[in-house]
Amino acid sequence: MSIGHPNAIGLLIPLLGDTSPAAEKHRVRSALRRLGQGELVDDVLAALAGAASRIKGAVGEYREQVIDALVNALDGASPIHAAKVLEELHAMEALLAMREILRMTGTSNRTGQAIDAAIQALEDRAALPRPAEGRELVPDTLPRAADDPAPATDTLPRATE
């Protein structure tokens, strides 16, 4: 059986990080390659092998699905690399799943420590101040300058001698 419809791309990408047997992974990879996503497959696999910088420009319209694949990989064979790639992608949307996996994994091993470090980096990034929204000032909405900026003197008390 062959998958040939482009709508299947978004459904197949999260399976790249799955921990299923190698034969199923091979079918997913070959189906994505036949659908014209060979470069994305190569970039995701390279990122899971340690080349985190390769994925940054490759996710494009499939960012959500690639992040799902990386979250799936946190339970798989390359969780440390997956955590680093999620951090590299600034994947704030993966924080909830990462926290859940960290709760199950703990921080006593290298995997848990890598996931914890990625969570800390993402949370630190999320806490950065955001630039203010630029608004166009319309002169009609600004207050007008007073005609005579000095206070009226006719209401002041007169000096007596």
Q: The tokens of 53 are what? A: 């910088």
Half-sphere exposure of 107 (CA within 13 A, CB side): 10
- d(Cα 108, Cα 116) in Å, to the nearest integer? 11
Provide the domain count of the chain: 1
- Amino acid 1: pLDDT: 47
Answer yes or no: is 82 within a domain.
yes
Answer yes or no: is 42 within a domain.
yes
- Amino acid 159: pLDDT: 79
Domain span at residue 100 reads 6-125
- Amino acid 117: pLDDT: 92
Answer yes or no: is 147 within a domain.
no
Answer yes or no: is 96 within a domain.
yes
Mean pLDDT by 10 residues, the chain (161 residues): 67 76 73 83 82 74 86 84 89 89 87 90 79 64 67 77 66
CB neighbour burial string for 9-22, b if at least 16 within 10 angstroms, e if fewer: beebbbbbbbeeee
- Amino acid 106: pLDDT: 86
Answer yes or no: is 28 within a domain.
yes
Answer yes or no: is 143 within a domain.
no
